[in-house]
Structure 1
Amino acid sequence: MDLQLDGRVALVTGGTKGIGRAVVEGLAAEGARVAFCARTADDVAKAEQELRDAGHDVAGTALDVADGAALAAWVAAAAERFGGIDVVVANVSALAIGPDPDFWRQSFEVDLMHTVRVVEAALPHLEAGGVGSVVAVSSVSGREIDFTAGPYGVMKSALVHYTSGLAYQHAGKVRANTVSPGNTYFDGGVWQSIEQNNPELFGTALGLNPTGRMARPEEVAYGVVMLSSPRASFITGTHLVVDGALTRGVQL
């Protein structure tokens, strides 16, 4: 099926590793031109070169998404370079787990406010293109209480509310949806670190997955790419959980 993404312009935050990298690859494979950012310059340069070597039209930028001015400047530069913006995928998380008061600030600025700021900066371009789509990457930890209860889970839950409100406020102009992954395993990711440093927690988490495994980044990215596509023209304000039946609540 043609996803009608060929030639579209997409922005992806946190695009060098894990789910974000898989989203960049998925969008680019459908012919989208992709601007992505991440904090570490070496990772950005490496990812950009690899993606260009694969034949994709991409542009990577190193920045801290908690810096509102830098984030807005990145959006403006991407729109100028590619001639507009059709898709925004907000994917970065501070991964601030625990009761430390500073973790609340980090989660607020990175998980929630970076999403708000990147969307606000991109909205005029999304509306002008006529097929604008926003996808926020949340987490199953925003849907139910687990070991991340506190700043991480609260801000992930807030993302679902924010995105649903965005869909209502901009209905008919810009679509907005949320994707909430379950535990996702990849090299250099948080679950690989937990596996190495806290095998008891890793074993407990793995045991909660009825599939017997954790998600792969490309499996989550599939949901993001589908919702980004103009083919999903009447899907807005939805919350897509991609967790292999990990969560057990009934989503009504």
Structure 2
Amino acid sequence: MDLGLKGLRAILVGANGGIGRAVAHVLAQEGCDVAICGRSQEKVDKVLSEVAASGVKSYGEALDVTQVDAVPAFVDKAAEALGGCDIFISFTSINLGEDTDAAWDAVMQADILPMRRGVAAARPYLAKSGNGSIVCFSSAGAVEEFMGVQPYNALKAAVMNYASSLAQALAPEGIRVNCITPGPVMTEDGPWPKIKEAAPEFYEATLANMPSGRFTTGEELAKAIAFVVSPTCKAMTGANIVVDNGYTKRTQF
């Protein structure tokens, strides 16, 4: 199936590794021009060299997403480099695993506010696209018990509400907004290989909650996202799409 992504332009915040890197790969393979940012210039350059193999246009820079003006400035520069923006996704995330003021502030500064600022900055470009699509990232931790009481889970639940409201508000501008809710995802440069080594009991307990007996891979999640943001999926907006290998046990409606 041709997803219709060829020639579209994706701006990806926090895509120098993990899930974001996997999404950059898949979108580039589908012919989508991509712009990425991340904390490490070395990692950004690595991803840019990887997507260059697909022959697409690319742009990238290192930045600190917790700085108020950083993400909006990146979006503007990326849109100028690519000639516009059709797809916007923010992947930045942090989870301190504790219920403290510092943890609440950390998740807001590194996860929630960069997403909101990026959406606001990308909106004018997306409105001109004709294929404008936003993906907001939640987590199975928002609906399943995961590491106890902590702000990460609560604020990821808020992302679902934000995406739903945003979908209604932006639909008249021709911009679709959907929420992706993944369970634990295994990528070579993501957190789970480190967790497996440092906290094997927690890793095995998490794996035991997977009825499939395995984690979702970054490529699997990236392919689902590519479909959701593509013109092929143009009638879907305001949806919360769970991609988790059965980790979430609730009825999903």
TM-score (normalizing by structure 1): 0.96
1:117 alignment partner AA: R
In the aligned structure 1, how far is the partner of 2:198 from the partner of 2:101? 24
User: How many residue pairs end up in the alignment?
Assistant: 252
Aligned match of 1:246: 247
Aligned match of 1:75: 75
The 5 A counterparts of 1:128-167 are 128-147=128-147, 149-167=149-167
Q: Secondary structure at the match of 1:10?
A: strand
Q: Give, in angstroms, the shift of residue 54 of structure 1.
A: 4.4
In the aligned structure 2, how far is the partner of 1:80 from the partner of 1:57? 12
Q: Secondary structure at the match of 1:249?
A: coil
Deviations 1:104-162 (A, max 9, x none): 00101221111110000000110111210000122101122221531111111111111
In the aligned structure 2, how far is the partner of 1:218 from the partner of 1:247? 20
The 5 A counterparts of 1:36-51 are 36-51=36-51
Aligned match of 2:17: 17
Please say if residues 141 and 148 of structure 1, whose CA atoms lie closer than 8 Å, have aligned partners that are also in contact. Answer: no
Moved more, 111-120 or 91-100: 91-100
1:180 alignment partner AA: T
Deviations 1:60-82 (A, max 9, x none): 21111222211111111111111
Aligned match of 1:185: 186
- Aligned residues: percent identity? 35
Aligned match of 2:26: 26
In the aligned structure 2, how far is the partner of 1:78 from the partner of 1:126? 13
Q: Secondary structure at the match of 1:244?
A: coil
In the aligned structure 1, how far is the partner of 2:238 from the partner of 2:148? 25
Aligned match of 2:207: 206
Does the alignment pair 1:106 with 2:106?
Answer: yes
Aligned match of 1:120: 120
Please say if residues 58 and 82 of structure 2, whose CA atoms lie closer than 8 Å, have aligned partners that are also in contact. Answer: no
Q: Give, in angstroms, the shift of residue 17 of structure 1.
A: 1.5
In the aligned structure 2, how far is the partner of 1:118 from the partner of 1:148? 30
Q: Secondary structure at the match of 1:68?
A: coil
In the aligned structure 2, how far is the partner of 1:237 from the partner of 1:47? 30
Please say if residues 87 and 132 of structure 1, whose CA atoms lie closer than 8 Å, have aligned partners that are also in contact. Answer: yes
1:79 alignment partner AA: A
Q: Secondary structure at the match of 1:36?
A: strand
In the aligned structure 1, how far is the partner of 2:68 from the partner of 2:232? 32
Please say if residues 3 and 230 of structure 2, whose CA atoms lie closer than 8 Å, have aligned partners that are also in contact. Answer: yes
2:189 alignment partner AA: G
Q: Give, in angstroms, the shift of residue 89 of structure 1.
A: 1.1
Q: Secondary structure at the match of 1:6?
A: coil
Structure 2 unaligned residues grouped into runs of 5+: none
RMSD: 1.3
In the aligned structure 2, how far is the partner of 1:162 from the partner of 1:45? 32
Aligned match of 2:91: 91
Deviations 1:179-223 (A, max 9, x none): 111111122321111111111111100111111111110111112
Does the alignment pair 1:237 with 2:238?
Answer: yes
In the aligned structure 2, how far is the partner of 1:212 from the partner of 1:149? 26
The 5 A counterparts of 1:48-59 are 48-59=48-59
Q: Give, in angstroms, the shift of residue 100 of structure 1.
A: 3.0
